[in-house]
Amino acid sequence: MFLSRKVYSLFSQKASFLLPKSKSIYTRPIASSLSHTASRMHSTLPRLPVFEAIASHDRSSPVVIHSQSGRRFTYGSLLHDVADAKEKLLAEAGRNTIEGERIAFLVENSYDYVVTLLSILGTHAIALPLSAAFPAAELQYILDQSQASMLLSSAKFGEKAQQVIEKGLAVAPKHVKLEKRFGAEVKGDVTLEECEEGKGGMMLYTSGTTNRPKGVLLPQRVMTAQSQSLVTAWKYTPADHLLHVLPLHHIHGTMNAILAPLLAGSTIEFLFPFNATQVWSRFASPFLPSPKTTENITFFTVVPTVYNRLLATFSDLPPETQTAAKTGISPENLRLAISGSAALPTPTRKAWTDLSSGNVLLERYGMTEVGMALSCGLSHTTRLDGSVGFPLPSVQVRLVDTDTNEIIQLGEELDAAGKERDGEIQLRGPTIFSQYWRNEKATKDEHVAGDDGLGPWFKTGDVAVRRIIDTSSSSSSSSPSSSSSSSTNQDQDQYQEWAQGPMYFIRGRKSADIIKSGGEKVSALEVEREMLALPQIAETAVVAVPSGNWGQKVGAVVMLKEGVGRWTALDLRRALKGRLAGYKIPQVMKVVDHIPRNAMGKINKKQLVKEVFADQTSGDEA
* Residue placing its CB nearer to ligand AMP in the complex, 183 or 366: 366
Distance CA 505, CA 503 (A): 7
Which residue stretch of 140-148, 233-241, 249-257, 449-457 sits at the interface with ligand MLC (rule: CB under 6 A)?
A: 249-257
Count, residues near ligand MLC per rule CB under 6 A? 23
Find the shortest distance in angstroms from Cβ 514 to ligand AMP: 7
| 513 belongs to the binding site for ligand AMP (CB under 6 A) | no
Nearer to ligand MLC, 55 or 306 (CB): 306
Residue nearest to ligand MLC (CB): 582
Q: Give the total of residues touching ligand AMP (CB under 6 A).
A: 18
Q: Does 516 bind ligand AMP (CB under 6 A)?
A: yes
Give the phi and the psi of residue 423 in degrees, each rounded to 5: -135, 145
Pinpoint the alpha helices (H) of 517-586.
524-532, 569-576
Does residue 207 touch ligand MLC according to CB under 6 A?
no
The 205-244 site mask, x for binding ligand AMP (CB under 6 A), equals -x--------------------------------------
Does residue 124 belong to the site contacting ligand AMP (CB under 6 A)? no
Which of residues 220 and 523 has its CB atom nearest to ligand AMP in the complex?
A: 523
123 membership: H or E segment, kind and range: none
Q: Which of 62, 219, 340, 386 binds ligand AMP (CB under 6 A)?
A: 340
Task: Please tell me whether residue 325 adopts helix, strand or coil conformation.
Answer: helix
CB 401 within 8 A of CB 408: yes
Residue 250 found at the interface with ligand MLC (CB under 6 A): yes
Give yes or no for a contact between 466 and 423, defined as CB atoms under 8 angstroms apart. Answer: yes
CA distance 272 to 224: 26
Binders of ligand MLC in range 254-273 (CB under 6 A): 273
Q: From ligand MLC, ligand AMP, none, which one binds at residue 462 (CB under 5 to 8 Å depending on kind)?
A: ligand AMP
Candidate segments 192-200, 457-465, 469-477, 517-525, binder of ligand MLC by CB under 6 A: 517-525
Nearest distance from residue 160's CB to ligand AMP, in Å? Answer: 23
CB 557 within 8 A of CB 543: yes
Show the site string, 364-403: x = touches ligand AMP by CB under 6 A, - = not: -xxxx-------------------x---------------
Query: Are 584 and 578 in contact, with CB atoms under 8 Å apart?
Result: no
* Radius of gyration in angstroms for the set of CA atoms belonging to the chain, rounded to a whole number: 24
Number of alpha carbons in the 13 Å side-chain half-sphere of residue 502:
16
The string over 89-112, giving b where at least 16 C-beta atoms fall within 10 Å of a residue's C-beta and e elsewhere, is bbebbeeeebeebbbbbbbbbbbb
Pairing state between β 390-391 and 371-375: antiparallel
531 binds ligand AMP (CB under 6 A): no
CB of 369 to ligand MLC, least distance (A): 9
Non-local (6+) Cβ contacts of 421 within 8 A are 399, 401, 403, 408, 412, 413, 414, 415, 465
Pick what 550 binds: ligand AMP, ligand MLC, none; C-beta below 5 to 8 Å, kind-dependent: ligand MLC
Q: Quick one: 122 or 551, whose CB is closer to ligand MLC?
A: 551
DSSP letter (8 states) at residue 407? B
- Phi then psi for 276, rounded to 5 degrees? -60, -45
DSSP label at residue 179: P
CA angle 300, 155, 281 (to 5 degrees): 30
x/- map, 291-330, ligand MLC, by CB under 6 A: ------------x-xx------------------------
Q: Which stretch binds ligand MLC (CB under 6 A): 77-85, 224-232, 437-445, 514-522?
A: 514-522
For the CB of residue 388, give the shortest distance to ligand AMP in the complex, in Å.
5
State the nearest-atom distance from the C-beta of 197 to ligand AMP, in Å: 25
User: Could you tell me where the DSSP H helices lie in 170-329?
Assistant: 220-234, 251, 260-264, 276-284, 304-313, 319-328
**Does residue 274 touch ligand MLC according to CB under 6 A?**
yes
Question: Is residue 343 part of the contact set for ligand AMP (CB under 6 A)?
Answer: yes
Closer residue to ligand MLC (CB): 262 or 522: 522
- For residue 256, the minimal CB distance to ligand AMP (Å) is 11
- At 348, which helix (H) or strand (E)? helix 346-355
Q: Is 530 among the residues that bind ligand MLC (CB under 6 A)?
A: no
Tell me whether strands 201-206 and 189-193 are parallel, antiparallel or unpaired: unpaired
- DSSP 8-state symbol, 11: T
To the nearest whole angstrom, how small is the minimum distance from the Cβ of residue 184 to ligand MLC?
30
Backbone angles phi, psi at 538, to 5 degrees: -90, -45
User: Per CB under 6 A, does 340 bind ligand MLC?
Assistant: yes
Taking a C-beta distance cutoff of 8 angstroms, is the pair 18, 228 a contact? Answer: yes
Distance CA 353, CA 360 (A): 5
- The reply to whether 349 sits near ligand AMP by the rule CB under 6 A is no
Which of ligand AMP, ligand MLC, none binds 28 (CB below 5-8 Å, type-dependent)? none
Task: Rule CB under 6 A: say whether 252 interacts with ligand MLC.
Answer: yes
Q: Does 368 bind ligand MLC (CB under 6 A)?
A: yes
Least distance in angstroms from the C-beta of 233 to ligand AMP: 14
Residues pairing with 458 in the sheet: 427, 447
273 preceded by a cis bond (ω within 30 of 0)? yes
Long-range contacts of 308-315 (CB under 8 A, 24+ apart): 308/345, 308/348, 308/548, 308/549, 308/622, 309/274, 309/276, 309/549, 310/276, 310/279, 310/280, 311/348, 311/351, 311/352, 311/355, 311/622, 312/276, 312/549, 312/622, 313/276, 313/277, 313/280, 314/280, 314/355
Kindly state whether residue 460 participates in binding ligand AMP, applying the rule CB under 6 A.
yes
Binding flag, residue 572, ligand MLC (CB under 6 A): no
Q: Considering the complex, state which of residue 76 and residue 429 has its C-beta at the smaller distance from ligand AMP.
A: 429
By CB under 6 A, the residues from 459 to 498 that bind ligand MLC are none
- Using an 8 Å Cβ cutoff, are 379 and 498 in contact? no
Residues that bind ligand AMP (CB under 6 A): 206, 251, 340-343, 363, 365-368, 388, 460, 462, 506, 509, 516, 521
Residues that bind ligand MLC (CB under 6 A): 246-247, 250-253, 273-274, 303, 305-306, 340-341, 366-368, 517-520, 550, 582-583
